[in-house]
A and B are shown apart, each in its own frame.
Chain A
Amino acid sequence: MSSRNNLPLLAFLTAGLLGLGVVLAFVVAPEDADQGISQKIFYFHVPIALTAYACFGLGAWKALRLLWVGGERRDLESYTWIHQGTIFGALTLITGSIWARASWGVWWSWGSNQLVLFLVLVLFYCAYFMLRFSVDEGARRERICAVYALFGVALIPVSFFAIRLASDFIHPTVFTRSGPQMTHTMFTAFLVCWAALTLLAYVMYRVELVGKRTDAHLRELREALT
């Protein structure tokens, strides 16, 4: 399959971009005046968050296609995208927590809207896996998971608004990511990291999907032989 042939190439490209991103972020880009070295996490934290959103969105899109058009293939694709999304979501929480610790000395802040949003989302998508593993395999499970994935993607904007509103009475602390002005090098470093992480998510998705498809093929072969 031609699509499998480009996977090693993509993996190399990812590694290269990541390396470049790290260099740009830590060596080339200037240090932030206020936050110092801890600001460097921004180059990874924000792209990771954006990638997580993209994965959840793609998972929901595949789910929608599953309900419209059908096909076990789309179920695996949706599941794998959501899996990547959850991994990146967890990474968002971790990098965000590190940043919070480095910036203000606390591991967690309810005032950080992004962080709280991701907590809700990671909880939601962890429940996705619990749901998936507790329903017997078959067309019913595919559909139920697909519907849940759609609820997840609807939850993202709704939660975002909720948390914005909640900051009204939960925590009036202000969380500034970085100044509105980014220098040219900072912006380039950001873009490179973003591209690298997006590509990483895609490569991980492809690898996992290949594994799952092989499982499915093996199963079919076993069935055909018995």
Chain B
Amino acid sequence: MSGIALYATDVIALARKDLRLELRARDTLPAMLLFVLSTLAVFHFALPAGTDRDAAYGLLWIAIIFTALLGLARAWAPEREGGALDGLVLAPCDRSAIWLGKSLATLAFLGAAELVAVPAFALFFAPVDLVAVAGVALASIGICAVGSLLAAMAAASRGREVILPLLFLPLAIPLVVGGVGAGISPNGATYLSFLGLYDLVFAILAWATFEYVVTE
């Protein structure tokens, strides 16, 4: 098997492992779904009457970011419980494959939450067009690529749950700009390109540096 094919099978095996674990435990995904819906409901009461559509759209993004944080906080939990991360690091596979597998699985969970959140938002607040949805998709890639790596850093720290939002939020700001812009701005395509740029830059950076986060 060629190098790339082997890499791909490693990544798929790792992502499938995470999906299987979630299907069994069923703790993270339902929590994310419920959280995103509850947050949207809270926003309804937090917004004054007659708030324009654009402002409401920004709140969708807050909901997405914090739902993502909820999922990311638990992203490496299975590896922590049995010490399996050491087991993965010892294996001959590329360490970046560990990151990629985890990012893909996290993306699947976040995507599932968004499949609920975006229609719910359209129902409760304001309609959402295709460009906005594309923005959600592109930003989610960035969220998971960066978030998985930061979550691995946070797992090594003593203040686990607390530190992840601190690390993640500044890096999430450009994503929120891109996502909101894609939704409400007339030249949404510019924002989509920007999101693509973010994804490219940070995914490559995360891919290249993950090795150093999990090894000594």
Contact = CB atoms under 8 A, between A and B. Distances in A.
Interface of A: 67, 120-121, 123-124, 126-127, 130-131, 134-136, 138-141, 143-144, 146-148, 150-151, 154-155, 158-159, 161-163, 165-166, 168-169
A134 B153 CA distance: 10
Q: Give the interface SS of chain A, mostly helix, strand, loop or mixed.
A: helix
A162 B153 contact: no
Given A120-B170, A165-B177, A158 B158 contact: no
A158 B181 contact: no
A175 to B, nearest CB: 18
A169 B180 CA distance: 9
26 contacts: A67-B209, A120-B170, A121-B170, A124-B171, A130-B159, A131-B163, A131-B166, A135-B153, A135-B158, A139-B216, A143-B216, A144-B156, A144-B213, A147-B149, A151-B146, A154-B205, A158-B202, A159-B174, A161-B174, A162-B173, A162-B177, A162-B194, A165-B194, A166-B177, A166-B181, A169-B184
When A and B form their complex, which 8 residue pairs have the shortest distance between CB atoms, in order from nearest? A162-B174, A124-B170, A134-B157, A162-B177, A139-B216, A143-B212, A127-B166, A147-B209
Interface of B: 54, 146, 149, 153, 156-159, 163, 166-167, 169-171, 173-174, 177-178, 180-181, 184-185, 190-191, 194, 197-198, 201-202, 205, 209, 212-213, 215-216
A165 B173 contact: no
A147 B173 CA distance: 19
Given A120-B173, A139-B216, A151 B205 contact: yes
Q: Give the interface SS of chain B, mostly helix, strand, loop or mixed.
A: helix
Contacts of A130: 159, 163, 166
Contact of B212 (A67, A120, A154, A161): A67
Contacts of A123: 169-170
Nearest to A163: B177
B173 A159 contact: yes
Contacts of B158: 134-136
A165 B212 contact: no
Contact of A165 (B159, B167, B191): B191
Given A131-B157, A135-B158, A158-B174, A151 B202 contact: yes
B181 A165 contact: yes
Contacts of B177: 162-163, 165-166
Given A158-B201, A165-B177, A134 B159 contact: yes
A155 B212 CA distance: 19
Given A130-B166, A161-B194, A163-B177, A169 B212 contact: no
Nearest to A136: B158
B173 A135 contact: no
Contacts of B149: 147
B181 A168 contact: yes
Contacts of B167: 127, 131, 148
Contacts of B213: 143-144, 147
A129 B216 CA distance: 20
A147 B212 contact: yes
B190 A165 contact: yes
A40 B212 CA distance: 45
Given A130-B166, A139-B216, 9 more contacts: A123-B169, A131-B166, A147-B212, A151-B146, A154-B201, A161-B197, A165-B177, A169-B180, A169-B184
Contacts of B201: 154, 158
